[in-house]
Amino acid sequence: MTDHDREEVATSAPEGDPWAVLRRATRARVALGRAGDGLPTARELEFRAAHAAARDAVHTALDADRVRAALTAAGVGLDVLEVHSAAPDRTTYLQRPDLGRRLAPGTELPAGEHDLALVVADGLSPRAVHEHAAGTVAAVLERLPGWSVAPVVLAHQGRVALGDPVGQALGAAIVVVLVGERPGLSSADSLGLYLTHGPRPGRADSERNCISNVRPPHGLGYAQAADTLVALLQASRQLGASGVVLKDEGTALGS
């Protein structure tokens, strides 16, 4: 049973159920009932289903062909390149965040001069990339006429900071990493967007700006996320920086 289903159950509670008003105010799993001192079977299995979906989202392999096809279908005409991080597999990736931030030895990318590079990385939810990366990329590109954008880079076993060596190699002034976020019990497909000005290895997290929870229809929509990101991109280009300093400026942008 999904969260959405739970809400429907809650709102259809009989009149006079003192829990009805409380359930409407929270997605927390309140008033599940009991079987002895434990949970009733249905509630227990509902929880396991949500956990299983989140676990599977973490361990799904990134399907590059699927993302390429989705980009094409969304009208993205840019070339698509593929890279691997220095983490050879999922087990290593989960235990060695440092490897997920570096490119596999011998990786070559075409050097150029671009306003922007877009890196699509599996992160902790390849499922989020499968479902939301193409729609987000298309919405962002629509809003950036006149910007020179490097080929889209699909990254396997990638973390946010993998955008630093990729953006640097491509010669991009700004890199945006679209990455699958750590799945929650009710949000296994959430995509995050991280903007870094002047990408190079060693950038601190405080030098990035983040838009989280891109996940229509439950979370942020593509257009809404792209509007916010483009406002940040323009401010970042103007300021020649990103991160905390841009966030402070950003309050004037209303973003």
Chain positions contacting another protein, by CB under 8 A: 16-19, 21-23, 25-32, 34, 36-39, 43, 47-48, 50-51, 54-55, 57-58, 94-98, 124, 182-188
Task: Rank residues 58 and 174 by Cβ distance to another protein and give the closer one.
Answer: 58
Task: Rank residues 61 and 111 by Cβ distance to another protein and give the closer one.
Answer: 61
Asked if the peptide bond before residue 217 counts as cis, ω within 30 degrees of 0, the response is yes
Q: What is the DSSP letter of 102?
A: S
Task: Rank residues 23 and 197 by Cβ distance to another protein and give the closer one.
Answer: 23
Task: Rank residues 131 and 149 by Cβ distance to another protein and give the closer one.
Answer: 131
Radius of gyration of the chain, Cα coordinates, nearest whole angstrom: 20
Give me 30's structure tokens.
Answer: 């309140």
Find out whether 215 and 191 touch, Cβ atoms under 8 Å.
yes
Find out whether 79 and 151 touch, Cβ atoms under 8 Å.
yes
Scan for tokens 């838009």, then name that residue: 211
Distance CA 236, CA 250 (A): 9
Residue 62 Cβ vs another protein, minimum distance, rounded to whole Å: 15
Residue 31 Cβ vs another protein, minimum distance, rounded to whole Å: 6
Find out whether 209 and 197 touch, Cβ atoms under 8 Å.
no
Residue 228 Cβ vs another protein, minimum distance, rounded to whole Å: 18
Asked if the peptide bond before residue 183 counts as cis, ω within 30 degrees of 0, the response is no
Residue 210 Cβ vs another protein, minimum distance, rounded to whole Å: 15
Closest CA to 126 of 168, 175, 93, 104: 93
Task: Rank residues 80 and 210 by Cβ distance to another protein and give the closer one.
Answer: 210
Residue 26 Cβ vs another protein, minimum distance, rounded to whole Å: 3
Task: Rank residues 30 and 69 by Cβ distance to another protein and give the closer one.
Answer: 30
Query: What is the strand order of the sheet 172-180 is part of?
Result: 80-84, 152-156, 114-121, 172-180, 191-197, 208-214
Residue 209 Cβ vs another protein, minimum distance, rounded to whole Å: 18
Which residue type sits at 243? G
Residue 226 Cβ vs another protein, minimum distance, rounded to whole Å: 23
Task: Rank residues 26 and 251 by Cβ distance to another protein and give the closer one.
Answer: 26
Find out whether 166 and 132 touch, Cβ atoms under 8 Å.
no
CA angle 30, 185, 195 (to 5 degrees): 130
